[in-house]
Amino acid sequence: MAIPDSIRAFWYEAEALNETFVRMPWGVVVTDARYPLIYDANHAGVFEDAPDVDLAEIRSELEPRLRAVRATHEHIEFIDTAPPPRALRDLVREGARPTEDVLMLFEGPPADPVTDAWVEEVVRPDATFWDFYRRSRNEFGETFVPEVVDQMVARDREVYVPAGLRIFAGYRRDAIAGFTSLMPLAGSGYIDNVVTLPEHRNHGVASATVTAAVVAARASGARAVFLFAQEGGGAARLYQRLGFRVLTRAMGFTRPLPSA
């Protein structure tokens, strides 16, 4: 199923927050010399119905720009993979192994989570929150080196918070236990960064923070509220219980940038 225009509009506006934004017939190429170690700050995104775009065409636009900002990896993502464009098939033939996610759209109604946590919006993130945020970056199943974490934290503080990023923190026993972020752009709300520290899991923290973000997005007039989740994973099943439904599949391909 094709992604709604409201979500596509969100994605273009979000990509335009990077230093360099080049609109292509099939999507975008973006780079950001401030954050060369972050894959999704330096990548190509195929967002349009472009069945005939091939990998060589994408790389001819992407690789020179990656080298110009000293990016370390090539990253190409496809938000809608049905039908698969030629470039995606080219990558599979190369033997590339993708990350596979589902794009999930909130259809409601908002859940009433069973939890002993309470949620507050972090209106002015302070040093305590950013320390928690930094520690949480390695709770998503992938371990990042400190230099990458530094750039991830810096981008959120310097780019996304000023652009409107909202953060909903869940608390248990008077301590922050987890949080969810909401990025409102182009009349849509993107739910991301859903994390709970291990010692607070199975207490409804994620359910509470995600639901708070959804309610806030709907209250602000968002036409679509959406998120990505690993296909077939436990998080996707949680989001289904909270009112989200799978809309389409998305794939991302990452590899070290070859030597020039």
Are 82 and 25 found together in one domain? yes
> Rounded to two decimals, what is the model's pTM?
0.94
Q: What is the pLDDT of residues 200-255, one digit of tens each?
A: 999 999 999 999 999 999 999 999 999 999 988 899 999 999 999 999 999 999 99
Are 219 and 125 found together in one domain? yes
Supply the CATH number for residue 133's domain: 3.40.630.30
Question: What pLDDT, on a 0 to 100 scale, did the predictor assign at position 1?
Answer: 53
In a domain, 107, yes or no: no
Are 57 and 159 found together in one domain? no
Are 52 and 137 found together in one domain? no
Are 211 and 238 found together in one domain? yes
In a domain, 49, yes or no: yes
Confidence of residue 85 (pLDDT cuts 50, 70, 90): very high
Which long-range contacts does 254-260 make (Cβ < 8 Å, 24+ apart)?
A: 254/39, 254/73, 254/74, 254/75, 254/99, 255/73, 255/74, 255/96, 256/72, 256/73, 256/74, 257/63, 257/66, 257/67, 257/71, 257/72, 257/73, 257/74, 258/74, 260/67
Q: Are 98 and 250 in contact (CB under 8 A)?
A: no
Beta bridge partners, 74, equal 255
Question: What pLDDT, on a 0 to 100 scale, did the predictor assign at position 247?
Answer: 94
Percent of the chain beyond pLDDT 90?
86
Quote helix, strand, coil % in the chain, to nearest 5.
35, 30, 35
In a domain, 95, yes or no: yes
- Specify the length of the chain in residues: 260
Residue 74 domain boundaries: 5-101+250-256
Q: How far is it, in rounded angstroms, from Cα 66 to Cα 42?
A: 7
DSSP track, 135-191 = HHTT-SS-PPPHHHHHHHHHHIIIIIHHHT-EEEEEEETTEEEEEEEEEEETTEEEE
Domain count, the chain: 2
In a domain, 109, yes or no: no
Question: What pLDDT, on a 0 to 100 scale, did the predictor assign at position 80?
Answer: 86
Cis peptide before 109 (omega within 30 of 0): yes
Q: What is the pLDDT of residues 86-107, one digit of tens each?
A: 999 999 999 999 999 999 999 9
Confidence of residue 54 (pLDDT cuts 50, 70, 90): very high
In a domain, 111, yes or no: no
Are 86 and 129 found together in one domain? no
In a domain, 113, yes or no: no
Are 83 and 193 found together in one domain? no
The rounded mean pLDDT for the chain is 94
Stretch 160-176: mean pLDDT, rounded?
A: 95
Stretch 111-136: mean pLDDT, rounded?
A: 92
Question: What pLDDT, on a 0 to 100 scale, did the predictor assign at position 232?
Answer: 82
Stretch 48-54: mean pLDDT, rounded?
A: 93
Are 176 and 77 found together in one domain? no
Are 9 and 97 found together in one domain? yes
Confidence of residue 139 (pLDDT cuts 50, 70, 90): confident
**CB-facing half-sphere around the CA of 163: CA atoms within 13 A:** 20
Taking the C-alpha atoms of 176, 140, 16 and 129 in order, what is their torsion angle to the nearest 10 degrees? 20
Q: DSSP code of 257?
A: P
Q: Is the pLDDT of residue 260 over 80?
A: no
Are 194 and 222 found together in one domain? yes
Stretch 162-172: mean pLDDT, rounded?
A: 97
Of 13 and 260, more confident: 13
Percent of the chain beyond pLDDT 70?
99
Beta bridge partners, 226, equal 105, 190
Q: DSSP code of 13?
A: H
In a domain, 108, yes or no: no
Stretch 171-197: mean pLDDT, rounded?
A: 95
Are 127 and 39 found together in one domain? no
